[in-house]
Amino acid sequence: MSRVIGLILVAIMLTGGVGAHTYDPEEAYKWTVCDSEEEEVEWGDTIDAFSEGANETYTIEVVDFHVQTSKIDLDEIARIKGDVYECGDCSKAEYVNKIEYAAKTVNLRIYKNQTLVGSFPFRANESNLKDDTGFSTKASSWDTTGMIWNHNNDFYVAVSKITCDFAKEDCFCTDPENKKATIRYLTRKPAVFEVEVKTLLPGGEKAEEMSEFRSNARFMAEITIKNKQMTAHHVDATVSIKPAEMINGEYPEECAVEKIYRGKHDDDDRKWIANGFPMDVRTLGIESSSADVFMHCCGGTPYTVHFKTPSIPQRTKYEIQINITYEDLKEKPYEFTDNSTIIEILPVVEVKKAIGTEDYAVVASEAVEAYTGETTCTIYTDYDPYIFFTVINWGDYTIPSLTLRDSPVDTWHKPATTDFNVWKCALPADMLKVPDMESDLWNWDFSLEPGEVMTCAYPVSLLKPGTYKLGSATVNWTEDGYNYSMVSYPQPVEVHGPYIEVTKTIDPALVTQNNTTTVTVIIKNTGDRPASLTIMDQLPMESVLVHKPVSRGMVTDEGNGTFFLKRVIKAGEVETFDYTIDPNRTVMLPPAVVEFVDITTYEGISISDMPILTVNGTKAIGAAADVLAEAEAKAAAEAMNASGSGSGVAAAEVAETIETPVRTEPGFTGVFAVLACLAAVLIGRRRK
């Protein structure tokens, strides 16, 4: 599947012009220094320097110093000192520059592989072979200043500083000692390239730097190549973006080159070069000043290359490969490769899952905008939210069969309805797609043409405030016999509103006749919004109220054995009340029921559990009788199964007993029993 992508010929580097370079030992080549080395030495020291280009080792030996003073400005020393000149003042560091020298040289012997190739006195100059300076010299000769010596264009040496000290008793500094020299040198070696790559997504007011790009999309690579060392000649550079990973045992296509510019992507003076490769660099009209791009110490020239990504079915890493071939001064070839920049190309299919109101359905831009899920969606419990899906084929080919799968139930939401007629009221026609609801996962089957977008949605009920992650949806499809899948980003979601929890307990739960027990009802608002509550509770059958609940605003109807209380309860607050009863029979207590409404008119009902109160020596009545009978039958069945006898008949009898419906009670008690059978807390929720 791989195909060759074009060649980018960056420049032919010459020190004097843009014609082809041929080495000539008689030519005085111009150099710019940025990579010299230096060492301070004294008499008898040696320095070894390896020339990689020549594969030779040069040795510098310090043979002798010749330092002779000629004049000391005693009056200037006295003026600076502010006193008369005293013996040895000239040796002090603050006055040493007032000494003039008749001679100040160091004799150096130069060896190549232990063979003497030169022995010369060197004068010092601070600018000799200093970084960012230039010089010109022929092979095995001195430069124009007579201070830099060149051996065979493989080795360059100069002296930048010669220093000495004078003894204190040397009154007029005529006998120098501790003589030292600072030696600078260069060797012929390969260029050292530094590559900087930025990958950018075009569009908008400003291109965005990114490392992930969609299939069948366009992006830019802004590439700057700098040479940090010796001059490079005959420089050719190829730039390609190749897959670093296989898909099903084969490498996918490379990225295609579309346009090439010299300059940064946003430079006003950037220059178009070509739309493809290969091309002859000599036709580009590069000025001679551009030929210094690969001179060491010079800033690199940026190039902007426009690429198009292939259409691939799986997220894949690609590497930007920059290969540079060049020659040194003596036409020795070298090669440099940089593949440190990695990008990722996303699959042809993208799936997004979001939650919002029906307004989301008519915002067309939401369907195609890139979505990372970094922005938290805020929803209030009085909303009628929908979960929306967007599936896009970014590729350049048709995908005939895709399946979108989603789990409609989570800890904080569930489908509001599966009635398709209700869906029609809020959703546009192109979103009305009925899923297969046969299992815990809902499935939508569809196909997509290149660039086509599929959208669908379903309504949900919010169950509990809090911060959540919207569960990921999955799209599955097949290409060339291989299965692929893509999942949506788990969008952060904040759900706000009241959440009322009500519990009802008895202590003790086992009493003897004529003894009392305490019933405690606790209401908590574990949401983040206040709510107005109507709390309702009732005495169990065959029970006498001994101590009424004491709470501000509590209304007790002793005739019916009911309690009513209204409250506004803030987020995090708890309301508690209790009362004492004298039970005569084993009964199931009716639930405490709390109706609530918040300031946005969001309302609901919360119901407590229904504990069983056991009175020794009495027979259970009502729902308690049914529950206890069912528990006894189940325990008997388990005991029989454990003994290994009569399991078939017993299982059938137990099944019939378990299916016996809970008996409802008449009157207000019956209402509570019906409410107790509702599915969950917050069973009803609607907008006024």
**Are residues 333 and 248 part of one domain?**
yes
Alpha helices in 297-450 (DSSP H): 420-426
> How far apart, in whole angstroms, are the C-alpha atoms of residue 221 and residue 213?
12
Task: Give the pair of three-digit tokens for residue 628.
Answer: 């206890």
Q: Which residue has the higher pLDDT, 359 or 437?
A: 437
Task: Give the pair of three-digit tokens for residue 662.
Answer: 């809970």
- Which of 299, 314, 345 is a domain's end point? 345
- What pLDDT, on the 0 to 100 scale, is given for residue 647? 39
pLDDT in tens, 506-563: 999 999 999 999 999 999 999 988 999 999 999 999 999 999 999 999 999 988 999 9
- What pLDDT, on the 0 to 100 scale, is given for residue 278? 42
* Residue entry with tokens 């069948």: 216
Mean pLDDT over 111-117 rounds to 96
> How far apart, in whole angstroms, are the C-alpha atoms of residue 92 and residue 97?
10
**Are residues 163 and 42 part of one domain?**
yes
- Which of 307, 325, 345 is a domain's end point? 345
**Are residues 608 and 537 part of one domain?**
yes
Mean pLDDT over 399-427 rounds to 90
CATH number of the domain encompassing residue 445: 2.60.40.10
Residue 508 burial by CB count (10 A; 0-12/13-18/19+): exposed, middle or buried?
exposed
- What pLDDT, on the 0 to 100 scale, is given for residue 168? 84
**Are residues 655 and 600 part of one domain?**
yes
pLDDT in tens, 484-506: 999 998 888 888 889 999 999 99
- What pLDDT, on the 0 to 100 scale, is given for residue 273? 78
- 169: pLDDT confidence band, cut at 50, 70 and 90? confident
CB 160 within 8 A of CB 194: no
- pTM recorded for the entire structure: 0.67
Is 27 among the domain residues? no
With a cut of 60, say whether residue 44 has pLDDT above it: yes
Closest to 305 measured CA to CA, from 224, 232, 244 = 224
- Give the domain extent around 666: 500-676
Is 146 among the domain residues? yes
Closest to 231 measured CA to CA, from 495, 493, 29 = 29
Closest to 159 measured CA to CA, from 304, 39, 283 = 39
In this predicted structure, which of 183-187, 341-345, 379-383, 658-662 has the lowest mean pLDDT?
Answer: 658-662
Is 48 among the domain residues? yes
- Which of 288, 318, 345 is a domain's end point? 345
With a cut of 60, say whether residue 672 has pLDDT above it: no
Mean pLDDT over 407-432 rounds to 88
Is 12 among the domain residues? no
What string of DSSP letters covers 112-137?
ETTEEEEEEEEEB-TTTT-TT-EEEE
**Are residues 373 and 257 part of one domain?**
no
- What pLDDT, on the 0 to 100 scale, is given for residue 433? 92
- Number of separate domains in the chain: 4
Highest mean pLDDT among 15-19, 118-122, 410-414: 118-122
Mean pLDDT over 99-123 rounds to 94
Is 625 strand, coil or helix?
A: helix
Please provide the average confidence, as pLDDT, over all residues in the chain: 82
pLDDT in tens, 298-353: 557 788 999 999 999 999 999 999 988 888 889 999 999 999 999 999 999 999 98
Is 16 among the domain residues? no
**Are residues 162 and 91 part of one domain?**
yes
Mean pLDDT over 46-64 rounds to 95
Is 4 among the domain residues? no
Mean pLDDT over 356-380 rounds to 49
**Are residues 670 and 530 part of one domain?**
yes
Percent of all residues in the chain with a pLDDT value above 90, rounded to a whole number: 48
- What pLDDT, on the 0 to 100 scale, is given for residue 673? 36
> How far apart, in whole angstroms, are the C-alpha atoms of residue 673 and residue 627?
13
Residue 35 burial by CB count (10 A; 0-12/13-18/19+): exposed, middle or buried?
middle
Q: How many residues does the chain have?
A: 688
> How far apart, in whole angstroms, are the C-alpha atoms of residue 553 and residue 563?
10
Mean pLDDT over 640-657 rounds to 46
Is 2 among the domain residues? no
**Are residues 655 and 540 part of one domain?**
yes
Enumerate residues 6+ apart whose C-beta is below 8 A from 49: 37, 57, 58, 59, 60, 155, 185, 187
- 376: pLDDT confidence band, cut at 50, 70 and 90? low
- 234: pLDDT confidence band, cut at 50, 70 and 90? confident
> How far apart, in whole angstroms, are the C-alpha atoms of residue 588 and residue 540?
7
- 644: pLDDT confidence band, cut at 50, 70 and 90? low
With a cut of 80, say whether residue 14 has pLDDT above it: no
Is 688 among the domain residues? no
CB 294 within 8 A of CB 232: yes
- 646: pLDDT confidence band, cut at 50, 70 and 90? very low
With vertex at residue 625, the alpha carbon angle to CA 624 and CA 629, rounded to the nearest 5 degrees, is 115
- 683: pLDDT confidence band, cut at 50, 70 and 90? very low
Task: Give the pair of three-digit tokens for residue 43.
Answer: 């008499």
**Are residues 437 and 335 part of one domain?**
no
CB 226 within 8 A of CB 235: no
With a cut of 80, say whether residue 435 has pLDDT above it: yes
- What pLDDT, on the 0 to 100 scale, is given for residue 377? 62
CATH number of the domain encompassing residue 258: 2.60.40
> How far apart, in whole angstroms, are the C-alpha atoms of residue 196 and residue 174?
56
CB 53 within 8 A of CB 328: yes
> How far apart, in whole angstroms, are the C-alpha atoms of residue 99 and residue 395?
80
Q: Which residue has the higher pLDDT, 318 or 655?
A: 318
587 Cα distance to chain centroid: 60
Laid out side by side, the sheet with 562-569 consists of: 555-557, 562-569, 531-538, 593-597, 602-607, 685-687
Is 77 strand, coil or helix?
A: helix
Percent of all residues in the chain with a pLDDT value above 70, rounded to a whole number: 83
- What pLDDT, on the 0 to 100 scale, is given for residue 11? 37
**Are residues 417 and 295 part of one domain?**
no
| CA dihedral of residues 431, 436, 438, 443 (deg, nearest 10) | -90
**Are residues 77 and 48 part of one domain?**
yes
pLDDT in tens, 211-225: 999 999 999 999 988
Sequence letter at residue 584: N
In this predicted structure, which of 114-128, 252-266, 292-306, 529-543 has the lowest mean pLDDT?
Answer: 292-306
Sequence letter at residue 36: S
- 256: pLDDT confidence band, cut at 50, 70 and 90? very high
CB 519 within 8 A of CB 506: yes
pLDDT in tens, 149-168: 999 999 999 999 999 988 88
pLDDT in tens, 442-480: 999 999 999 999 999 999 888 888 888 889 999 999 998
With a cut of 90, say whether residue 675 has pLDDT above it: no
- The number of C-alpha atoms within 13 Å of 405 and in the hemisphere containing its C-beta is 12
CB 461 within 8 A of CB 425: no
**Are residues 336 and 356 part of one domain?**
no
Task: Return the DSSP state at 17.
Answer: -
- What pLDDT, on the 0 to 100 scale, is given for residue 298? 55
